[in-house]
Amino acid sequence: MNSGQLGMCNDPYCTTCPGAYRASIHADATGRGRKRFQFLSSKFIMNPHNEHVQRWNKFFVISCLVAVFIDPLFFFILSVNEDYKCIFYDWSFAIGIAVVRTVTDIVFLLHILLQFRLAYVAPESRVSGTGDFVVEPKKIAVHYLRGYFLPDLFAALPLPQVIILLVMPTYWGSSAANYAKNMLRAAVLLQYVPRITRVLPLIAGGYSTAFIFESAWTNFVINLLMFVLAGHVMGSCWYLFGLQRVNRCLQDACLASKITNCKVFLDCGRGPKYHNFTGNPDWEIWNKDAEASSCLSKSNTYSYGIYQQASIITKRDSFIVRYIYSLFWGFQVLFYPFIWHILFTMGIIGLGLLLFALLIGNMQNFLQSLGKRTLEMQLRRHDVGQWMSHRHLPRHLQSQVKKAEKFSWAATRGVNEEELLKNLPEDLQRDIRRHLFGFLKEVRIFSLMDEPILDAFRGILRQELYMDKSYVQNKGGPIGKMVFIVRGQMESIGSDGNPSLLREGDVCGEELLAWHLENVSVKKETEKIRGPKQRLFSNRDVRCTSNVEAFILQSSDLVDVIINFERFLRNPRTKAATHIQVVWKYHRWQRMRKAKAHNQGRHPMDAAFLLGTERGFITITGLTQRSGVVMLCFTISSSEGVDFC
């Protein structure tokens, strides 16, 4: 299991950190004993990337998700009894919620205990990149106690269960019951914050020990649960605040009625049957009070605000009805009288939000793709500016660098043509290069070459950008490249001082290829390259008169191509010398044969014969002897026909 900079635990069932194993190995005997004792004291220290720990994290996240869904349901324990005009508790539902919450608290407590035996990475080792584990129990305990221990401990406390089972029953039927209800609401809300802040980073991968859901459907379900959770929390809070407004309305009606101890009637405990209100004359007056009745009627005049519908929902006996109405309000601020109508509308809203989210995602990707190049340009300009400032470049150099960056971006639009072509098939690359570099055939020396050789030259062409007033060649300097002008103008100034203009389609440094053809050869015996011992120097200055976009052939690349195609690019004079040697050997053989046949001495002779070659014919026109030296005269009958003697 790869753990990034924290190290590696290849054994999926290992329970000991690699750091603990390394700590047990020491050079001297004393050190080994000390480290062995330390290792024994570090027993059961676990690697945070161990498979068992990862499984526990998944189980812990599921438990926390259940807890964050369960906690808002504590608000639905309370409801309003319209007949008795009081707030009562659903005791059976409260017991069920408390049991589930207790189970999640136990899981949270076990997770806290695990943190005291879970190794962590030393902060100082992060700087050096080693990522060494701390495996000493005391250091691990101190690290956790200084970190998330207090928030975790507070989140794991069973405060709602204690309030429901121990505190609230003692205040039933008294005027202080409202304080117990407020205590329950505060405990649930306060514990909800550390719970939700602890589980979200584990899902999103914010911790080094977090896990990632690899399935796309799992991610979809998690995102959908987060959406439902938001509606669940908002709807539950809406129900709670609506219930508080109803309670406040009843309290105001109690104060206005001037009934003695009427606040006692506002709390029914487990239900009206547990309190004998019917025999109390004050309760008879309270039950017939018009202002108290208006608090629970649809045509009430009390200022409920957005909790107007909540005042009606709180009177429902069924928990499911109250919850579904509240959950729907969490989705959308609308109200429908039928529960199936609500469920159908929730499905429509969920599907609409899903499609809308897909639309927004696609639009976001499209807009990001449009602005990606611009963002890259801005980031590059920022990096270049930071680099120039760091190197303390003078202002005139900074200005030139900025102009060069702008021109480079305008010419290429941030697209690397070489990388783009590399990802295409070879035949398609060849066709594209032939289209882009058609100007090669317009150069005289390239027009005589075959397509395979031209393809080799097209493959080594590189784009180059030149700024206005920059020099491409300097008089007396070496010529290191051939420049093919694609856009812009250059000025060539010779030794006589007369300038000549170079435009689109012109070539600068054409003599470099001819010079390499004359000087580069391959030694066949050892297959070693024999390059030119000297360099070609320029006799002119070439300067840009505008921003120039060009393609270049570097000298080293030219040498490589010439060597690879040396057989096809051989100099005509070299070919002629080879043919002369062949003809001379043939002539000597003819002469020896005739001497044997006629048994005669040496005498001058004329011979003429024709020898077929690949590109033409060599004809011997004469053979003479001058000062003891035999002279051979011949004619090459070809497109380059030349007489040699």
**Is the model's pLDDT at 148 over the cut of 70?**
yes
Query: Which pair of structure tokens corresponds to residue 278?
Result: 């019917």
Tell whether 421 is covered by a domain: no
What average pLDDT does the chain have? 72
CA–CA gap between residue 220 and residue 214 (Å, rounded): 11
Amino acid at 104: T
Please report, for residues 54, 116, 282, 330, 579, the alpha-carbon distance to residue 3 in angstroms, rounded to integers and kept in the order given.
Answer: 12, 20, 71, 40, 71
Residue-wise pLDDT for 309-349, tens only, equals 776 777 776 777 787 777 767 665 455 555 665 666 666 67
Q: Which two tokens stand for residue 142?
A: 């101190």
Are residues 203 and 72 both part of a single domain? yes
What pLDDT is stored for residue 453 in this prediction?
Answer: 80
Residue 359 resides in a domain: yes
Among candidate residues 335, 362, 384, the one where a domain is terminated: 335
Query: Which pLDDT belongs to residue 99?
Result: 92
pTM: 0.50
Q: Are residues 54 and 130 in the same domain?
A: yes
Between residues 29 and 461, the one the model is more confident about? 461
pLDDT tens, residue by residue, 32-51: 444 444 433 445 787 777 78
Say what the pLDDT of residue 24 is.
44
Same domain, 112 and 177: yes
Structural domain for 68, as ranges: 4-335
- CA–CA gap between residue 565 and residue 452 (Å, rounded): 9
pLDDT of 614 above 60: no
Give percent above pLDDT 70 in the chain. 67
Question: Same structural domain for residues 466 and 372?
Answer: no
Q: 246 and 300 in contact (C-beta within 8 Å)?
A: no
Of the residues 542, 570, 598, which one is the last residue of a structural domain? 570
Q: What is the pLDDT of residue 331?
A: 61
Q: Given a cut of 70, is residue 119 above it in pLDDT?
A: yes
Mean pLDDT of 468-482: 84
Task: Read off the pLDDT of residues 563-596 as tens digits, 9 standing for 90 and up.
Answer: 777 666 655 555 555 567 667 767 777 777 777 7
- Report the SS3 class of residue 55: helix
Residues 596 and 243: their CA atoms lie apart, in Å, by: 135
Read off φ and ψ for residue 630, nearest 5 degrees: -80, 125
287 and 349 assigned to the same domain: no
In this model, does residue 106 exceed pLDDT 90?
Answer: yes
Residue 429 domain-assigned (yes or no): no
**Higher pLDDT among residues 494 and 278, named by residue:** 494
Residues 316 and 465 in one domain: no
Residues 630 and 493 in one domain: no
Side chain identity at residue 325, one-letter code:
Y
327 with 385, same domain?
no
Other Cβ atoms closer than 10 A to 243: 24
pLDDT, residue 20, reads 43
The confidence score (pLDDT) of residue 518 equals 72
**Same domain? 551 vs 579:** no
Span 235-267, pLDDT tens digits: 888 888 888 888 888 888 888 887 777 777 777
| Residue bearing the bigger pLDDT, 445 or 474 | 474
Under 8 Å between Cβ of 576 and 644 = yes
User: Where do we find the tokens 């470099």?
Assistant: 512
CA 66 to chain centre: 32
Q: Which residue has the higher pLDDT, 635 or 410?
A: 410
Q: Does 428 map to a domain? A: no
Under DSSP, the state recorded for 19 is H
* Contact predicate 641/619, CB 8 Å: no
Of the segments 101-115, 228-242, 450-464, 551-565, which one has the largest average pLDDT value? 101-115
Q: Residue 102: pLDDT above 90?
A: yes
Residue 425 placed within a domain: no
- pLDDT at residue 215 in the model: 58
- Mean pLDDT, range 501-530, rounded to an integer: 68
Where does a domain end: 275, 310, 335? 335
Note whether 226 and 251 are same-domain residues. Answer: yes
Q: Are residues 410 and 448 in the same domain?
A: no
User: Which tops the pLDDT comparison, 173 or 623?
Assistant: 173
Higher-scoring residue by pLDDT: 174, 365:
365
pLDDT band at 7 (very low <50, low <70, confident <90, very high): very low
Identify whether 432 is part of a domain. Answer: no
**What is the pLDDT, as a whole number, of residue 357?**
74
Residue entry with tokens 């003891």? 628
Distances (CA, A) of 413 to 105, 377, 410: 58, 9, 5
| Residue 445: CATH number of its domain | 2.60.120.10
Q: What pLDDT is stored for residue 1 in this prediction?
A: 33
Mean pLDDT for 78-94 is 82
Pairing of strands 267-269, 86-89: parallel
126 inside domain: yes
**266 and 324 housed in the same domain:** yes
Query: Is position 397 within any domain?
Result: yes
Our count of domains for the chain comes to 4
CA atoms within 13 A on the CB side of 366: 6
Highest mean pLDDT among 35-49, 164-178, 387-401, 581-595: 387-401
Q: Between the ranges 66-80, 332-346, 401-415, 616-630, where is the mean pLDDT highest?
A: 66-80
Flag whether pLDDT at 622 surpasses 50.
no
Q: Are 476 and 538 in contact (CB under 8 A)?
A: yes
Contact 297, 315 (CB under 8 A): no
Lowest mean pLDDT among 234-243, 267-276, 450-459, 505-514: 267-276
User: In this predicted structure, what is the pLDDT of residue 478?
Assistant: 85
| pLDDT band with cut points at 50, 70 and 90 for residue 207 | low
